[in-house]
Structure 1
Amino acid sequence: MKDIAIKYLIKNPLLHMGILEPIRRGTAIILYADTDGVLLKEQKSNAYMLSVANFEKGKELVDSISSCNLILSHQEFMVDYIIDRFRLSKKLECFQAVYIDKAKLSVSEELEIKQLDKIHVEIILEHYGKLSKSELETILEDGNLFGGYKNGILIGFIGNHLEGSMGLLEIFPQYRRLGYGTMLESYMINHMLEKDLVPFAQIEVDNEKSLALQKKLGFSISKDRLFWLF
């Protein structure tokens, strides 16, 4: 079923990188794979991920899920049905950004970049409110959050979300517009390449600054959109 899933998803690799990588890393349970779609559950995040060729197959697969509080849909025509089916209330509409190149980026030595741990939970939550404390602690336990230090002072951070996408990029207000976001993201790209991972990120469609940063760093941006529902 893995090969069948990949054959379907690889037809649009930019859009599907966030579902292809969990399969490649072995963190996905593939629940359905055929020529008309793929449904899987990513085990680190407990997120369902769905891509289908038509609404009828999508409805059939969605109805096979007993309960769900986080799902990634790769087709807009499934969004309203999923929201109604599971009584979800939030939607993030995103482009997929993928760093296809294998070449590492140069990283300025202006910042010292170090792996963060649980002692940093509170300061991270103070600046970044999109994760629960338990999710953040898991990311820290996995060693997937890095802080940038200027003269020994933490000025921001970046990491991987549970399902593998790059994100959690936050530069503290007094240190913005100094290029530190570029430095942290360049470091993270190199870190993922060293681990034989494909750097990818999901950028909200109205986040023009982030989209511009991804393009500057050499990311390819999907033409199609994907939808996180929760």
Structure 2
Amino acid sequence: MRIRERLAAEPVRYADLLTALDRPETRLVWNGAEGAVLWEARSGAYMAVCLAPGGEEETAAHVPPAGTLVTCHDAVTCRLLRRRLGLTQLQVCVQAVWTAKEPPQVPPFGGTLKRLGEEWTQTVYDRYSQHYGNLEEIRQSIRQGMLGAFVEGELAGFIGVHLEGSLGMLEVLPPFRRRGVGRMLLAGGIALALEQGRTPFSQIMADNRPSLALHRGLGMDLSTERMYWLF
């Protein structure tokens, strides 16, 4: 069975891998009975997935030693890769996927949404509260599709697309919180992804309860399994 068919049996758990396979520049490094390894060119991430019980060693062995940014979808493969590659940073995430054909409808928030251009690169970099790459990576995220929320002409928040294709960088600036801006931004990000022919999905830190509640409340399907980023 081809790798896409195997992953499509669990579209929420493997939304990131299915999205990567849709990109022509993604390279299939290895595909075996035990699992597969992809190389996602835009982010430079190796994506490992074990698809057979006991296949974790074989799967981990096919991630090149030079891999410095790696994802996987089970704790055993994660542990093996951390030890083998010497990667010290770990992020444990839940995937949220919008599975409907139409975007969510949410109440207005008293402002407008619009696409941001590259002239917003420095502003987004300065105002994003989480650490995320450098100015060039922010610029590339804007090129892929970033929305800004504006209230009376002032930037109230933004949402972008991470290099590997997930919705993220959702930030509501402090003066505009608790006014529905985050909900509107997420709905707008979903609508833009659908418009561009992409599957809208997010990767949320497993301990980020407010973000999990936001995604669940909007109607996104959340994976019961965890996925892992190593770097």
Whether these two folds match at TM > 0.5 is yes
Report if the CA contact (8 A) 2:25-2:40 is conserved: yes
Aligned counterpart, 1:20: 18
Matches within 5 A, 1:77-88: 77-88=76-87
TM-superposed deviation, 1:55: 1.9
Alignment of 1:1-230 (within 5 A): 4-52=2-50, 53=52, 54-62=55-63, 65-107=64-106, 108=108, 110-128=110-128, 129-140=131-142, 142-230=143-231
Letter in 1 for 2:36: V
Alpha-carbon offset, residue 109 of structure 1 = 6.4
Which whole-Å deviations, capped at 9, do the CAs of 1:60-109 have from their partners, x for residues lacking one? Answer: 213xx130111111111022221222222211101111111112222526
Alpha-carbon distance between aligned partners in 2 of 1:167 and 1:144, rounded to the nearest angstrom: 11
Contact 2:204 2:212 (C-alpha < 8 Å) held by counterparts: yes
Shift of 1:50: 0.6
Say if 1:4 and 1:35, in contact at 8 Å, map to a contact too: no
Check whether the contact 1:21–1:198 (CA below 8 A) recurs between aligned residues: yes
SS of residue paired to 2:124: helix
Q: CA deviation at 1:118?
A: 2.6
Counterparts of 1:222 and 1:106, CA distance in 2 = 22
Runs of at least 5 residues in structure 1 that lack an aligned partner in the other structure = none
1:103 corresponds to which letter in structure 2? E
C-alpha distance in structure 2 between counterparts of 1:223 and 1:67, whole Å: 31
Contact 1:158 1:185 in 2 (8 A): yes
| 1:111-147 deviation digits (Å, cap 9, x = unpaired) | 221221232222212222323222112222x242111
Partners of 1:87 and 1:125 in 2: CA distance:
29
Is the Cα contact below 8 Å between 1:8 and 1:38 reproduced in 2?
no
1:25 partner SS: coil
Instruction: Quote the offset at 1:9 in angstroms.
Output: 1.4
Task: Name the SS for the 2:82 alignment partner.
Answer: helix
Alignment check: 8 A CA contact 1:118 1:137 kept? yes
After TM superposition, the structure 1 stretch with the greater mean CA deviation from structure 2, 26-35 or 216-225, is 26-35
Post-superposition offset of 1:182 = 0.3
Tell me the secondary structure at the aligned position of residue 147 of structure 1.
Answer: strand
Q: Partner of 1:13: helix, strand, or coil?
A: coil
Distance 1:111 1:86 in 2: 47
Could you list the runs of 5+ residues in structure 2 that have no partner in the other structure?
none
Percent of aligned positions that are identical: 31
